[in-house]
Structure 1
Amino acid sequence: MDGRQLSLLAGAGSAGLLIAALGFQAAGYAPCELCILQRWPHVVAIIVAVLVWWTGRVRGLAILGMIAAGAAMGLAIYHTGVEWKLWQGPTHCSGTIGNLATMSAQDLMERLQSAPVVRCDEVAWRFLGLSMAAWNAVFSAGLAVVWGMAAKRA
């Protein structure tokens, strides 16, 4: 495969991951804030693949695709660490809502109403022991390698 074909393959891989995420969402698995954040680098990778297809320029764009896939992988690793309690995630989706004893009833109601429903530190679905975030990290790493091969073969 040449660099252009590899770029299109990597872009299709990101599209597949987005379609899978939206499929899980349609099936009732609501995404947390970190899940949604992980989708954006894949959107960028898809745009980069479209630009490769449209312009025929591979090397520089493939490097951008590799950076996007690497960002998706980094965010997925971070989210997986939050799920595994290796580190704390954002407090508004994985921590407490504050010291309940010192909050007024109105403050408590405001915090509860603005709190997200889906927690970032709880796994909603696993396959072979890995969460969706962990699988995203694995697949995103593979896509980063494909983008790197595309840049090298350009």
Structure 2
Amino acid sequence: MAVLTPLFVAAAAAAALAAALISQYGFDLQPCVLCIWQRWPYLAAIGLGLAAIALRRAPARRAPAAARALTGLAILAVLVSGGIGGFHVGVEQGWWEGTSGCGSTSGTDDLNALRAQIMNAPIVRCDEVAFSLFGISMAGWNLLYALGVALVAIRAMLVQSNARPGA
């Protein structure tokens, strides 16, 4: 397996995280709970992709198989983010309810701490679309992006494994 596939997955995950952070800090689009959840699998995909690259460079005999497994897990992490994005789209469209944390800022039992948190933090609801492009919300774009990244990466892995028998 070439280094390009895990590098592609890690770079695509990093690009998704960068886009989310630029949207948040550059354009003041505050994320809801589900938006935050969509970021964690991308972070995992970056780590798994980089670990696969490092293993691919290792001299151990079983390193290529382990690198393929880590690349597969990185692709799975990207798909998990897309799945959360799909769930988020359903919440936005009213197809189902969001999680208990959607629209809630509470993480404490202390009334004074809760009051301070409410007064200082914007409440971002999961069922409201903060931004859309061509009628597709950011969660919808994440779903499409994750599916695209996964399809390209899976195709690359299949082509590479067919190109070298026994690889």
TM-score, with length taken from structure 2: 0.75
What value does the CA root-mean-square deviation take over the aligned residues? Answer: 2.4
Q: Quote the residue 2:148 is aligned against.
A: 142
Secondary structure at the counterpart of residue 61 of structure 1: helix
Q: Quote the residue 1:13 is aligned against.
A: 12
Q: Quote the residue 2:78 is aligned against.
A: 69
Q: Deviations over 1:80-102 (max 9, x none)?
A: 1100111110244258xxxxxxx
Q: Quote the residue 1:84 is aligned against.
A: 93
- Taking a change above 3 Å as real, the CA distance of residues 73 and 3 of structure 1, as seen in their structure-2 partners, is farther
**Quick one: distance in 2 between partners of 1:86 and 1:94?**
17
Q: How many residues align?
A: 141
Q: Does structure 1 retain, via aligned residues, the 8 Å contact 2:7–2:49?
A: yes
Q: Deviations over 1:85-141 (max 9, x none)?
A: 11110244258xxxxxxxxxx8xx86x949971101100000011011000000001
Identity %: 36
**Quick one: distance in 2 between partners of 1:51 and 1:151?**
16
Secondary structure at the counterpart of residue 120 of structure 1: coil
Q: Does structure 2 retain, via aligned residues, the 8 Å contact 1:14–1:45?
A: yes
2:44 aligned with 1:54, yes or no? no
- Taking a change above 3 Å as real, the CA distance of residues 32 and 10 of structure 1, as seen in their structure-2 partners, is same
**Quick one: distance in 2 between partners of 1:59 and 1:92?**
36
Unaligned stretches of 5+ residues in structure 2: 57-63, 105-110, 162-167
- Structure 1 stretches of at least 4 aligned residues deviating more than 6 Å after TM superposition: none
Within a 5 Å distance, the mapping from 1:18-37 to structure 2 comes to: 18-26=17-25, 27-37=27-37
Unaligned stretches of 5+ residues in structure 1: 96-105
Secondary structure at the counterpart of residue 93 of structure 1: coil
Secondary structure at the counterpart of residue 122 of structure 1: coil
Secondary structure at the counterpart of residue 3 of structure 2: helix
TM-score, with length taken from structure 1: 0.81
* Larger RCO, structures 1/2 (Cα 8 Å, 6+ apart): 1
**Quick one: distance in 2 between partners of 1:118 and 1:52?**
36
Q: Quote the residue 1:42 is aligned against.
A: 42
- Taking a change above 3 Å as real, the CA distance of residues 62 and 32 of structure 1, as seen in their structure-2 partners, is same
Q: Quote the residue 1:130 is aligned against.
A: 136
**Quick one: distance in 2 between partners of 1:86 and 1:92?**
17
**Quick one: distance in 2 between partners of 1:116 and 1:38?**
19
**Quick one: distance in 1 between partners of 2:2 and 2:153?**
8
Q: Does structure 2 retain, via aligned residues, the 8 Å contact 1:65–1:147?
A: no
Q: Deviations over 1:36-66 (max 9, x none)?
A: 0000110011111111221113311121012
1:85 alignment partner AA = G
